[in-house]
């Protein structure tokens, strides 16, 4: 048993989809969340900048006594975790490995799609890991740079003409590749599930990166006998780098319930 909190971080709000799943699979597990809302989005930035920001985000989280960190951001997982995870003493669960393992379990025809931010797709991290774990699988990827701004501005519903036109532009080439599994390689994308399914068709299984991370984190803790006991109180403390006021209303959309008033501001550039 280990009642210490898990740290979860993201460039902004998307990682809250992982928090929601962590709360579902481990309801007594306390969580510390950091969202870098003062510098979001990371997905169009260079690898060097993403690594620098990731280091600072992790340094802040490590001011708490944590048992595990979840990098709930596709862009950081794909561009920085291979470098930064070695600098940290506790395990870090990332989006890439969690969702690749799930996709390999799910696929029947060995044809896997990956969508993510520009930096994520450019990194080639998904292709490398899939070909290491399932050498016969074929991978088809597409960058979807406008999905994060669309979601953060509340435009993710099926029937929204603009969202559907942009999704169609990004996903049509993938839909023609006969893939049976699509990794949503960014924790914002689960909110676009209906729109994405609309283009890909009902036979393509979508892998939700936040959910895959949560399941992966829980099984790692179970294996190491580090789950919380039943009397632990759970809950999530939120930290952000911009004004907490702007954060709470959109965060509630991601979490699916209202975010408590426990939101504090951090000067992340000082870490």
**Which residues carry out catalysis?**
73, 186
Location of structure tokens 């600072």: 56
Tally of CA atoms within 13 A in the half-sphere of 117 that contains its CB? 28
Q: Check residue 59 for interaction with a copy of itself (CB under 8 A).
A: no
Cβ 175 to a copy of itself, closest distance in Å?
A: 18
Q: Check residue 155 for interaction with a copy of itself (CB under 8 A).
A: yes
For the record, the structure tokens of 242 come out as 């911009």
Q: Check residue 161 for interaction with a copy of itself (CB under 8 A).
A: yes
Task: Name residues whose C-beta falls within 8 Å of residue 222's C-beta, 6 or more positions apart in sequence.
Answer: none
Among 91, 149, 198, 235, binds a copy of itself (CB under 8 A): 149
Q: Check residue 246 for interaction with a copy of itself (CB under 8 A).
A: yes
**Residue-wise DSSP of 184-246:** E-STTGGGGHHHHHHHH-TTSEEEEHHHHHHHHHHHHHHHTT-PPPTT----EEEEESS-HHH
Q: Check residue 138 for interaction with a copy of itself (CB under 8 A).
A: no
Distance (Å, whole) CA 216 – CA 6:
13
Among 27, 48, 87, 233, binds a copy of itself (CB under 8 A): 48
Cβ 160 to a copy of itself, closest distance in Å?
A: 8
Among 2, 3, 4, 49, binds a copy of itself (CB under 8 A): 49
Report cis status (omega within 30 of 0) of the bond before 41: yes
Q: What is the DSSP letter of 87?
A: G
Give the helix/strand (H/E) hosting 17: helix 16-25
Q: Check residue 127 for interaction with a copy of itself (CB under 8 A).
A: no
Cβ 187 to a copy of itself, closest distance in Å?
A: 18
What residues between 13 and 42 interact with a copy of itself by CB under 8 A?
A: 37-39
Largest Cα–Cα distance in the chain? 51
Cβ(120)–Cβ(185) under 8 Å?
Answer: yes
Among 245, 249, 256, 262, binds a copy of itself (CB under 8 A): 245
Q: What is the DSSP letter of 191?
A: G
Q: Given the complex with a copy of itself, which of 39 and 237 has the nearer CB atom?
A: 39
Distance (Å, whole) CA 214 – CA 93:
9
Cβ 199 to a copy of itself, closest distance in Å?
A: 14
Binding site for a copy of itself (CB under 8 A): 37-39, 44-46, 48-49, 145-146, 149-150, 152-153, 155, 161-163, 165-166, 169, 241-243, 245-246, 269
């Amino acid at each position: 048993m280990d009642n210490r909190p898990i740290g979860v971080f993201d460039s902004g709000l998307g990682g809250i989809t992982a928090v929601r799943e962590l709360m579902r699979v481990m309801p007594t597990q306390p969580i510390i969340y950091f969202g870098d809302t003062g510098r979001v989005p990371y997905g169009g930035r260079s690898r060097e900048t993403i690594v620098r920001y990731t280091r600072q985000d992790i340094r802040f989280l490590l001011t708490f006594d944590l048992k595990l960190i979840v990098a709930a951001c596709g862009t950081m997982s794909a561009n920085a975790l291979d470098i930064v995870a070695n600098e940290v003493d506790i395990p870090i669960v990332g989006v890439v490995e969690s969702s690749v393992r799930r996709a390999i379990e799910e696929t029947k025809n060995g044809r896997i799609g990956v969508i993510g931010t520009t930096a994520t797709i450019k990194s080639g991290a998904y292709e490398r890991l899939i070909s290491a774990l399932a050498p016969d699988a074929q991978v088809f990827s597409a960058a979807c740079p406008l999905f994060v701004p669309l979601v953060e501005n509340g435009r993710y519903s099926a029937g929204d003409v603009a969202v559907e036109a942009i999704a169609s532009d990004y996903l049509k080439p993938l839909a023609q590749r006969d893939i049976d599994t699509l990794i949503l390689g960014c924790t914002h994308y689960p909110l676009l599930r209906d729109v994405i399914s609309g283009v890909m068709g009902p036979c393509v299984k979508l892998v939700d990166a936040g959910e895959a991370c949560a399941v992966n984190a829980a099984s790692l803790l179970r294996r190491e006998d580090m789950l919380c006991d039943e009397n632990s109180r759970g809950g999530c403390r939120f930290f952000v780098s911009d004004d907490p006021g702007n954060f709470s209303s959109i965060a509630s959309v991601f979490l699916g319930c209202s975010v408590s008033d426990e939101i504090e501001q951090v000067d992340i550039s000082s870490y």
